[in-house]
Structure 1
Amino acid sequence: MSNLLKFSIAPAVEATEAPPIPRAQAWGREYLLSPTYGDLLDLSQGVPKNAPHPSVLEALAGSSSDPLSARYGPILGELALREAYAEEIRVQYQLPSSSSTSTSQSTKDTAKLVPGSSSNQDGSTQSPEAEVSKGKGTVNFDDISITTGCNMAFLVLIMALCPSGNSSVMIPLPSYFNQMMVFSLQGVEPIYIPGDFTNGFKPDIQAARNYLSTVNEEGKPKMIVLVSPNNPTGAVYRHEELKEWYDLAKKHGMALVLDETYRDFVEDEQGGRGVPHRLFEEEDWRETLVCLGSFSKGYRIPGHRLGSIIASPALLKHVTTISDCMQICAPRPPQIALSPLLPSLRSDLEESSKALSHRRHLFVDVVNKVQGWKVTSIGGYFAYVSFPKEYIHASANVGLKRKRLGSEDISLILAKKFGVVTLPGSFFMPDLKDDEIWEKDVLKGGEGLREDIWLRFAVANVGDEVILKLGPRLEEMNKLMGIGELSKTE
């Protein structure tokens, strides 16, 4: 118990690590006290660089000033947005048009509804007992819930599917720290599937198969969680790879939860928006698949907090119960603003995807030219980069007395001395020194990840000019750490 409080904090909260990004950003602020190399290059957080499209800003101004938008709205989201978003999913995933007749009005008419006037509290116009969405092999409005950001969508799912203290979830390692924090808060045991750093950090499905063959029904994990494009590694899974995971989850009666926060930045052959996967074409996808999404990245509105869950209405019925306790409704002004705009923003999404594709290629070119530095995987908003192994035993060069340096040490030095803020790979791992966790919770093949020689760079929140400044600073870091030749020979 804190000596500042006369009451106690829940043990699960006490045991959960604090959000790590502020720690890394504090290192950057120390650099600014004496910015030897110029501007701070903050590549720590995956946020959009540019402002929302002007039409979005204009619509937000209008919807925010409408007194009706200040009232409660439907729990599962504005019907107009759910319909419009379903159409955008069908367009991006090249799915057939909806055959659902469960809505009684067109999207245009629905957008004019007085807030709270939909026939059901959850925002649908169909019977709340309906549990099977019409239209196999596609996505309909009643397969969609709007949440207050994608992190909340993930928390809702864990609450809906995982009894506290008696559940496990399979998730690749490295893992997104907010998801690990949710597991800790909810008393859910993570089963880490090691990422293969020789294959772009994609998780080893054979390790998962082997594990599932050893557990009984009672001890079976509740879900497999994948993130594509991945946070933190940037790995992008091909459809064929995702289909293997889908089939594995289906075979064992588990949910496959696919976090697609960065789905708008899956590349096609021209560097534009591609088709992330074809799992929605499966006639029975609703029995196994749950997809999470975000409006923050593609539409560049992270502060307005909109996320989504695409799943069977049979699951969304329970999402409604939890969401009513957590949010009552997602923020209404951005929902109302975006509903009629989504089709017109497709070209903006395409341009953003191509610009980010260019920046990723530039990043690979710049970083891989610096001796010892290597982009291990990249995609979406992120790159996972290995630093020179010589750094591990160069503690004397930076005035430290320890046997080895890890990613947090390197990230701190890079930020404080050279003004490059990244996140250390250790932020995406369980305690690297805890042998018990690595023996109990990490599947076979994960030992190599404890080498701890990786940093995560966010490449979407900066311009190309920042990427170009990065190379010389990494070379200066090499000088400090005692590496001779500064750049690779062409």
Structure 2
Amino acid sequence: MHPINPNMAATFPPPVMEARRWIAGRDFPPEKPLINLSQAAPVDPPPEALARAMAEALVTRPSAHLYGPVLGLPELREELAAQWSAFYGGTVRPGQVAITAGCNQAFCAAMATLAAPGDAVILPLPYYFNHKMWLDMSGIGTQVLPTGDDLLPDPVRAAALITERTRAIVLVTPNNPAGVEYPPETIRAFLELARARGIALIVDETYRDFLGQDGAPHDLFADPAWDDTLIHLYSFSKAYRLTGHRVGAIMASGARLAEVEKFLDTVAICPPQVGQIGALWGMRNLADWLAGERAEILARRDAVRAGFQRLPGWELLGCGAYFAYARHPFDAPSDVVARRLVDEAHILTLPGTMFGPLRSEGGDGQAEATLRIAFANADAAGLAEVCDRIAALGR
């Protein structure tokens, strides 16, 4: 066999694909069908009006079939800058915005400008597995920041982790996988820590459109010098159901985006044109529709919270955006419990072992004790059924 990059070989397989293999080729009875709670992505198509706007662009805009600007369509960058400035009460200029082929690419591009092999990045637990995978395959070390039962990262504990190798701290809020929303004062404290130590703060707000609170979740963009430290990531996939069209964004200094441009041009040349056209149309026309989507997700969140109150031994550690993160009561690690849920309850979830280090790797046991439940594609009745099936498992 030809050589394989050892960093790539040491990177764990994509967790969602691994979970799908658990159910591949299996039949589930119609009276108890599989409930798939493994992936945090909408499966419904975008609103018809949005789809028609994209279809019209395919037919009437010849430029939609060509390479576009590496950093994205100017109109979309301008719209993002204007809406972010208004929402966060700060100033974001179009030159501080780049469009990417999804938010995962936004993270990879930002990280490529920050860290080289041998450097390190702080990831709070539980972490988003694709972030860890990119660091691993890039030869960048992960400095794991443990969290308690509230799953909130502590800037004081983070400060103790920083070394001369540390290049950035990454926050995902609302958190994937836990659904926890980080308080504004916590996010601000991390900005001040990163600034004082001369490293970057990456804030991934992929699920910002489904916050439980109204208004801006932090005041970082109100800081006139925000771009000396902050790198902000966003995704259109969840807001407008554009997962397959791959549209994300980075907000950072113009100087950093000049470096990002090198990465994007090399990897994808430009973000997909039709997806960007759809994202722009959505931003300009779907505010009321998106508010309804948020209300529905919050209703599902409330249904999960109510359902877990009748599950003895289970503890809901986090619940928000698309996610619930629960401590299970079984005397077995979470990967074993997740497979039991498939076999006996016909529920597909992801184990905490996919979101943090095992005890054998220096972990504190959180990974083995927890499960992620992604409820974006189960309504309130479906979530009640989930809780009924879990209750039937016993202990």
Could you tell me the percent identity over the aligned residues?
34
1:248 and 1:37 map into 2 onto residues whose CA distance is 54
Structure-to-structure mapping, 1:173-252, within 5 angstroms? 173-197=125-149, 199=150, 201-212=151-162, 215=163, 219-252=164-197
Matching residue's letter, 2:161: Y
Aligned to 1:457: 373
Matched, 1:157 2:110: yes
Kindly report which structure 2 residues correspond to 1:246-261, keeping only aligned pairs within 5 A, or say none.
Answer: 246-261=191-206
Query: What SS is found at the alignment partner of 1:258?
Result: strand
Separation in 1, partners of 2:23, 2:225 = 49
Q: Give 1 or 2: higher helix fraction.
A: 2
How many residues are paired up? 394
Partner of 1:329: 270
Shift, 1:462, TM fit: 1.9
Unmatched segments (≥5 aa) in structure 2 = none
Q: How far apart are the structure 1 equivalents of 2:10 and 2:353?
A: 17
Cα distance, 1:288 vs. partner?
Answer: 0.6
In 2: Cα distance, 1:29 partner to 1:417 partner? 16
Q: How does 1:300-315 map to 2 (within 5 A)?
A: 300-315=241-256
Q: Which runs of 5+ in 1 are unaligned?
A: 96-136, 393-404, 439-445, 482-490
Structure 2 residue aligned with 1:362, among 303, 308, 312? 303
Aligned to 1:399: none
Task: Name the structure 1 match of 2:15.
Answer: 20
Say if 2:315 and 2:326, in contact at 8 Å, map to a contact too: yes
68 and 419 in structure 1: CA distance in 2 versus 1, 3 angstrom threshold: same
| Structure-1 separation of matches of 2:44 and 2:85 | 26
2:97 maps to which residue? 144
Rate the CA distance shift 1:377–1:338 in 2: closer, same or farther, 3 A: closer
The corresponding residue for 2:54 is 60
- Match in the other structure for 1:10: 5
Structure 1's consecutive aligned runs of 4 or more residues displaced over 3 angstroms after TM superposition are: none
**Code of the aligned partner of 1:45:** Q
State the shift of 1:61 in Å. 0.8
Cα contact 1:267–1:274 (8 A) shared by 2? no
In structure 2, C-alpha distance between the alignment counterparts of 1:326 and 1:14, rounded to whole Å: 21
C-alpha distance in 1, partners of 2:141/2:4? 21
Residue 274 of structure 1 deviates from its aligned partner by 3.3
Task: Name the aligned partner's letter for residue 48 of structure 2.
Answer: P
Deviation at 1:341, TM superposition (A): 4.1
Describe the superposition over 1:129-174 as per-residue Cα deviations: whole angstroms up to 9, x where unpaired.
xxxxxxxx4112111000001111111111111012x200011011
Residue 419 of structure 1: aligned partner: 346
Q: Normalised by the size of structure 1, how large is the TM-score?
A: 0.78
Return the alpha-carbon distance in structure 1 between the equivalents of residues 278 and 16 of structure 2.
30
Q: CA deviation at 1:35?
A: 2.8
CA contact (8 A) 1:49 1:462 kept: no
Query: Is the 1:426–1:432 contact (alpha carbons within 8 Å) kept by the matching residues of 2?
Result: no
Per the alignment, residue 383 of structure 1 pairs with: 324
Per-residue deviation, 1:360: 0.1
User: Aligned letter for 1:424?
Assistant: P
Q: Distance in 2 between matches of 1:476 and 1:28?
A: 21
Give the one of 71, 76, 82 matched to 2:71: 76
